[in-house]
A and B are shown apart, each in its own frame.
Chain A
């Protein structure tokens, strides 16, 4: 069974700090990886996608992928209280038509 593992948290960081969210996956042939943000009572919102090893930066967000270690992470720089949410890691085993497998999510709390 294909699994995506995340620490449920909560991960607590002070405002302005770097938040580091981690995710491991079991299916070695996985091709693409996504981070979704989900506020309480809301639906998941796509914030980052990454397809190749290395780093991908978008504003305050950096996604990091290491396929050899089957590990993907999300760094949030200059964390803000508005970043407080659950962050879901999602993995697609193949490009194109396959389906996302989600982790349970990590709750991030950013304190003012």
Chain B
């Protein structure tokens, strides 16, 4: 079974430019997360989807970040315009929530460098 797939793996952009990341979760997983991980830090949640609904986006910088999860499967995270401080690894994770507790599985991440 394929894991969480993210693309691109690496992205270098100039500040003020837009950038988008794509995530395909594990088949059948209804919950999708976007995390950001800075060097030497643990992942920090940006947004969580339950199916198509964004149920926790309190940490998403909404002035420049946006996300969508069409048809409750793939998701896209966008930054426009990018700032130098946005350089980080953007991680997508998915889980299957069905009654009991759930375990989240991560994709390989997208390493963003803003210059």
Closest-CB distance, A107 to chain B (whole angstroms)? 9
Q: Which residue of A lies closest to B40 (CB)?
A: A104
A103 to B109: give the CA distance in the assembly, Å. 18
Q: Does B115 contact A (CB under 8 A)?
A: no
B43 pairs with A44, CB closer than 8 A: yes
B101 pairs with A95, CB closer than 8 A: yes
Binds B, one of A11-19, A45-53, A57-65, A68-76: A45-53
A99 pairs with B43, CB closer than 8 A: no
Contact mask for chain B residues 56-84; partner A; CB cutoff 8 A; 1 contact, 0 none: 10000000000000000000000000000
Residues of B within 8 A of A102 (CB): 42-44
Given contacts A42-B108, A43-B106, A49-B103, contact A96 B97 (CB under 8 A): yes
B42 pairs with A97, CB closer than 8 A: no
A46 pairs with B42, CB closer than 8 A: no
Within 8 A of B (CB), among A14-53: 31-32, 34, 36, 42-46, 49, 51
Q: Does A85 contact B (CB under 8 A)?
A: no
Within 8 A of A (CB), among B99-115: 99-109
Within 8 A of A (CB), among B7-59: 31, 33, 40-45, 48, 50, 55-56
Pick 24 A–B contacts, CB within 8 A, sort by A. A4-B42, A31-B101, A34-B104, A36-B106, A43-B106, A43-B108, A43-B109, A44-B43, A46-B103, A46-B104, A49-B103, A51-B101, A90-B42, A96-B97, A96-B100, A96-B102, A97-B31, A99-B56, A100-B104, A101-B45, A102-B42, A102-B44, A104-B41, A105-B42
A-side residues, CB < 8 A to B, are 4, 8, 31-32, 34, 36, 42-46, 49, 51, 88, 90, 92, 95-97, 99-105
